[in-house]
A and B are shown apart, each in its own frame.
Chain A
Amino acid sequence: MSRLSIRDVSKTFPGHKRSAPPTQALLPIGLEVGDNDFITVLGPSGCGKSTLLRLVAGLETPTTGEIRLDGTKIVGAGADRGVVFQSYTLFPWLNVRQNICFGLREKGMKLSEQKEISDRFIAQVGLRGFEDHFPKQLSGGMQQRVAIARALANDPKILLLDEPFGALDNQTRVLMQELLLGIWEQAQKTVMFITHDIDEAIFMASRVVVFSARPGRIKAEIEVGFPHPRHYTIKTSPEFMALKARLTEEIRVEAIAAAH
């Protein structure tokens, strides 16, 4: 059964001024994401891929079409869709543990259960010993690890990530990819990951969805067949290189289109 079903969804933003023309961010698109699928959405900046994620998250309403999760139409944001944003969105007045427990507390969960769950995710993202730290005392990579733990602690049906590692340095980004992939291999979650980084898109995905330049539409869907668990060394394998070469061509055309 398909978990996430996006049908004929488009999005047009009204112009900022009354005279300005409306902006079509997304042409009508259709996309099915199966249970425990890990899809990456790859596209040049400004192509509407983030808009797609915000529509699925319920932070924007589609202009046409509808999005269903397990058959239920999405209206507004909800705890069944966890989101990790590109910007650092930890609550600065809460420490690491309180941030991770934010959604659990909203559900009215008992403190002992909250502690048990947060302990598990703190360990999983490698932040043991940092429970009492405030976000400003953490590096960017650590903050995003907390954000991932915070989203996962809620046990959402699907995890949505909007270029979560975009602001991190290259080394940290690679380690974060391995961390997220490791969590996914263990936990089996449906994941939708937005990125403009080709290596990142291939390394983690079971399927790469390539977006065209704005107005966004799906240009290609490419299966990535590497077996799990994946090791970072696959990035230098000939199969990976071939896939990368192909996606580089696809994206290059779109980036050129976007630049004009």
Chain B
Amino acid sequence: MKLLVPVRRESRIALGVAFFIVFVALWSFLSLSGAVPKHFLATPWQTVVSAWNLFATQGFTHDVGMTIWRVVGGFVLAAVIAVPLGIAMGVYKPIEAFFEPFVSFARYLPASAFIPLLILWVGIGEAQKLTVIFIGCFFQLTLMIAMIVSGTRRDLVEAAYTLGCKDTGVIRRVVLPGAAPDIAEALRQVLGLGWTYIIVAELIGASSGIGHMITDSQALMATDHIIAGIVVIGLVGLLSDVLFKKVNQHLFSWSLLR
């Protein structure tokens, strides 16, 4: 192994898959050897069978669909407001001075701690789930985008002014295209954050969703279902992440040039 030298594509994939194998092997050993009782930790095979049953007979597809729609819905709401606000904060320093201290404070408020309040305010319906995701994503996203936009290269801004741009032209033609790849990357990361909040929101007062299925299974001691649910969350999250990355690479191919 040499420092910072990239590996070939084939080796990279092989190494990535290898760790999954190691992980499943360890899991199998712990559950099959009886080191951990089976009703605490289901075996990998049992989990696969349960997952199949969940989808085939217990309408789990609907739960997964509900969870995805809540994450995406709350995330889109957050993004629609956070992106323009973050850009305004990054470009206009008085706006940043006005919002930044509060947003920095609000960022540390755990979204899950709002759940009891939100149930009082907006009930246990979809609005509550969307609001949890919104709170969890919005403040992070706003700060990240403000920081990205603040980092716009000053020399490019100056060049644009000397080429005849006014302020709006500089924002439209220099700040936005320059920040776009990093903003897209921030969106990708915060979407991942949304996935961690949704399950908490669904653990309390939900009648559908992956989190709801997990709470139900806890009451029945169905650890195979719980593990299947967790694995599905991981897979859906990974899939959305890969899709996001592909789209970003396609849209901003210039930023990948070396």
Contacts and interface: CB of A to CB of B under 8 A. Distances in A.
Contact of B255 (A59, A93, A137): A93
Contacts of A77: 158, 161-162
Contacts of B155: 85, 87, 89
Interface stretch (A37-45, A100-108, A173-181, A188-196): A100-108
A92 B258 CA distance: 11
Nearest to A77: B161
Contact of B257 (A81, A87, A137, A154): A137
Contact of A79 (B156, B164, B173): B164
Contact of A102 (B163, B180, B252): B163
A59 B162 contact: yes
Contacts of A107: 164
A208 interface: no
Interface in B225-258: 252, 254-255, 257-258
B32 interface: no
A142 B177 CA distance: 23
A210 to B, nearest CB: 26
A151 B165 CA distance: 13
Contacts of B158: 59, 77, 83, 85, 89
Contacts of B254: 92-93, 134, 136
B99 to A, nearest CB: 26
Contacts of A92: 178, 254-255, 257
B66 to A, nearest CB: 39
Nearest to A86: B155
Contact of A150 (B163, B180, B255): B163
Contacts, number: 67
A150 B156 CA distance: 13
B159 interface: yes
Q: Which of A79, A82, A91, A134: most chain B CB closer than 10 A?
A: A91
A93 B159 contact: no
A76 B165 CA distance: 11
Nearest to A156: B162
A126 interface: no
Contacts of A82: 162-163
Interface in A146-164: 150-151, 154
A49 to B, nearest CB: 17
B119 interface: no
Nearest to A95: B254
Contacts of B252: 93
Interface in B168-200: 169, 173-174, 177-178, 180
B177 A93 contact: yes
Interface of A: 57-59, 76-79, 81-83, 85, 87, 89, 91-93, 102-103, 106-107, 134, 136-137, 150-151, 154
Given A89-B156, A93-B180, A154-B163, 4 more contacts: A79-B163, A93-B177, A103-B164, A136-B254
